Structure 1
Amino acid sequence: MDEFVIRSDKEAKVTFDSRRFDHTGWVTAYTITIDARGLRATREVENLPYGSSPAKLFGELAEEWSGFKGQKEWGAIEGEFNLSASSDAIGHTTLVVEILPSYASPCWSAELSIEIEAGQLERIASDAREFFNDFT
């Protein structure tokens, strides 16, 4: 799988692509891009072997497809981006993707909020496991 995409019905998407691997098959780095009307932001992410991949969060969302209380969160270990998810009573999950600035100038950040239907969650979790080679 070359890329993993989460799409909203409102012309917004999150794309994970450009994976790099080490000799064991571990995904050592990848790129995340958020797209919406008038916005495109991309950031390379280091995926250190002592952290967890976003596949864990997407798996939890699929398991709790009918909704959950509060927020579920995940953050890249080096701070490149964060994910947070909340749900409502009718099976919609809101995913907020926050791309954070690097410490080099110029500094910028971007945030995208997309709504995901309950029926999409299992496919998203499966695609995330495949993209990140995360079958734990």
Structure 2
Amino acid sequence: MPDFLIKDVNSSTTLRFEGEIPTDLTGYDGCTFSVSASSHELSAVTKVYDIRPDQWTAFFKDLAVHWRGWQGVKDHESLEGHFRLEANTADSLGHIRLRFRLRGVDVPNLWVAEASLIIEAGQLDDLAKRAEAYFGMVVPA
């Protein structure tokens, strides 16, 4: 799968993961992919290095399992902190706020872009399946 796209249900905000994720990573093998965010007010892209891209699949599968909501924040961050994603149960109607942060790679503290998008609980199974198709199956540790 060439990319993995998440769209806000109420606006034009999108979060896109692009780049090939190797299926044969083992141990401390890593890969690089890009994450881009786009909205009326924001356009940002960063490169992300990770040694366990399958953990993004685990993150989205966990959201799908707990589609009725959860306490607190569920979050995941890339190995070097260039991308972070947080999921908050936003309301009693099944809306989930995904807050994301992208950070510059060459000079990490030079720029940071943060925004949110809203998804619905009914989308979580599909997001988990598309995350698995893009990032790969969760590999037992």
Same-fold call, TM cutoff 0.5: yes
For structure 2, the residue ranges without an aligned partner over 5 or more in a row are none
Q: Decide whether aligned partners of structure 1 residues 103 and 30 sit closer, same or farther in structure 2, where only a CA change above 3 A counts.
A: closer
Give the partner amino acid of 1:73: D
Correspondence 1:1-136 to 2 at 5 A? 1-9=1-9, 10-21=11-22, 24=24, 28-49=31-52, 53-87=55-89, 88-102=91-105, 104=107, 107-136=110-139
* Equivalent position SS for 1:113: strand
Look up the SS of the partner of 1:102 in the other structure: coil
* Structure 1: unaligned runs, 5 residues or longer: none
Secondary structure, counterpart of 1:54 in structure 2: helix
Number of corresponding residues: 134
Secondary structure of the residue that 2:136 maps to in structure 1? coil
**TM, length-normalised to structure 1:** 0.88
Instruction: Render the CA deviation track for 1:34-74: whole Å, top value 9, x for unaligned.
Output: 1111311011111214x753211111111111111111011
Aligned-CA RMSD value:
2.1
Kindly provide the amino acid, as one letter, of the partner of residue 4 in structure 1: F
Which TM-score applies when normalising by structure 2? Answer: 0.85
Letter in 2 for 1:7: K
Using CA pairs below 8 Å that are at least 6 residues apart, which structure has the higher relative contact order?
A: 2
- Contact kept? 1:100, 1:108, Cα under 8 Å: yes
> What is the aligned-residue identity percentage?
27
1:1-32 CA distance string (max 9 Å, x none): 1110000121111000122537x267711110
